Amino acid sequence: MIPLRNEQAFHERFMRLKNWKPRDPGKASAKLKVAPFKFKPFSHKQKQVLTWWIPGVSPHANKNAIICDGSVRAGKTVVMSQSFVMWAMEMFSDENFGMAGKTIGALRRNVIGPLKRMLKARKYKVRDHRADNYLTITKNGRSNYFYLFGGKDESSQDLIQGITLAGMFFDEVALMPKSFVDQATARCSVKGAKFWFNCNPAGPYHWFKTEWLDQLERKNALNLHFTMRDNLSLDEETIKRYENMYSGVFYKRYILGLWVLAEGVIYDMFNEELHKIPASQLPDRFERYYVGVDYGHTNATVFLLIGELHGKLYVVKEYYHSGGASSGEEEATEMSKSPSEYAEDFIEFIKGYTISRILIDPAAKGFITELKKRGIRNIVAADNDVLPGISAVAVALTENILKVSSACVNTLREFGSYVWDIKAQERGEDKPIKKFDHCMDALRYVVYMLLGKNKQKTFGRVVGTTAADRIGALT
């Protein structure tokens, strides 16, 4: 760590943030090839994030860490990443820093892209070494190096070993394993190093809640809780729209920003009077068809045919074969079938329909092979990221863009019996009980692909902004 240059002038410059107004971004970055970042006025809480580390200005400058938790779309990430770089560039020179997301791809999309535009508008020079995943940032004769990491699983800690860091920024830390965060913080051995965390809430027993938020004094950390009201770039209509998207545990976490248990029925917003449609009243044809498949060798196998029409999804029909039913949720009323037999059933199931995509768990390799032997090519590996998928289905139900045919009796039954695993909650994990989940898994694969995973999809354009944009708040 190096002394502040012209300390009084530095303090005065940051004190002016109290009356900060956005500059004309066109003037700030007229030579940029990318679109200039459009700065908005900072809220009081965002100004706290920008200045918390400044000696002589902030009463929290002696803290080792800052934790910003709270609702979606609260403006945490943008201001934290900007402040992290400002701190690094004012306090250090020729040092290494770390920035982590759940994956490097997510970090680049959610943090690095906007950050580069902000920094260039503020006259920082940014060189992105994409092949090696680090940035060189320079201003006023000082340069520092910002290495990018993904913290998606236990093996991620191996990638950060060995490096010496002067600070670490964690985007969506609640999605990262404890082992990775522990390893990353252990690398910050340079004098004056600090940690920066942001996240949306999970359960009250989540490791980050118990290890950091519940131990702020021991960790010498500052916690700032954000809601959408702290993001001045959101108008009232947008805030209300987000508030109306969620119910139950999702509302408490994503809107109120509370660390609460996920318990009871998962889709408590499901209402048969609203979401069930008589089979006789289904549209005659749809714009596109999709099939979600939950394949089970020793338990149930499910195919769901889902139609898309005018910004809504309809579960048109289902195939349900109980198989061995070894999960204990039901008795095996039917003999198990081989992958080739299930493939023949699938061909019969889709007869007469032009299917855009077939979503199957990639673990069902034998079944996928049998389908390909029969000329089925439009197979997509389903994303089995459970919680974001559940969130996508919950939003579709809350916004009433998902309907289920009365003929799909097993799907309707599972909506009422698909529940959270309370024992997993006590371990700090959000998981459903692995019972009565076969139709729910097949449905989740399709809905998440359309509304969550594929951000460019223009599904739902008839209801205002795209449903993909709305789900994008969670992923």
Could you read off the pLDDT of 382-401 as tens digits, one per residue? 999 999 999 999 999 999 99
pLDDT in tens, 51-64: 999 999 999 999 99
Domain ranges of the chain: 7-235, 272-471
Confidence of residue 453 (pLDDT cuts 50, 70, 90): low
pLDDT in tens, 335-370: 789 999 999 999 999 999 999 999 999 899 999 999
Q: Does residue 16 have a pLDDT over 90?
A: no
3-state helix vs strand vs coil in the chain, percent to 5:
40, 20, 40
The DSSP H or E segment spanning 344 is helix 339-349
Adjacent-strand bridge partners of 302: 294, 320
Query: Token match 């040092």: residue?
Result: 95
Two tokens at 156?
Answer: 């991620």
Two tokens at 444?
Answer: 């989740």
CATH 3.40.50.300 fits 7-235, yes or no: yes
Q: Whose CA is closest to 286, among 378, 406, 405?
A: 405
Cα–Cα dist 7/447, whole Å: 54
CB atoms under 10 Å from CB of 9, counted, come to: 9
Instruction: Quickly name the fold that domain 272-471 has.
Output: Nucleotidyltransferase; domain 5 (3.30.420)
Question: Do residues 67 and 221 make contact, with C-beta atoms less than 8 angstroms apart?
Answer: yes
CB atoms under 10 Å from CB of 177, counted, come to: 16
pLDDT in tens, 465-474: 344 343 344 3
Strand, coil or helix: 109: helix
Looking at residues 425-444, what average pLDDT do you find? 93
**pTM for the whole structure:** 0.75
Q: Does residue 21 have a pLDDT over 80?
A: no
Identify the pLDDT of residue 474. Answer: 38
Query: Token match 């502040």: residue?
Result: 4
Identify the pLDDT of residue 169. Answer: 99
Strand, coil or helix: 431: coil
pLDDT, mean over the chain = 88
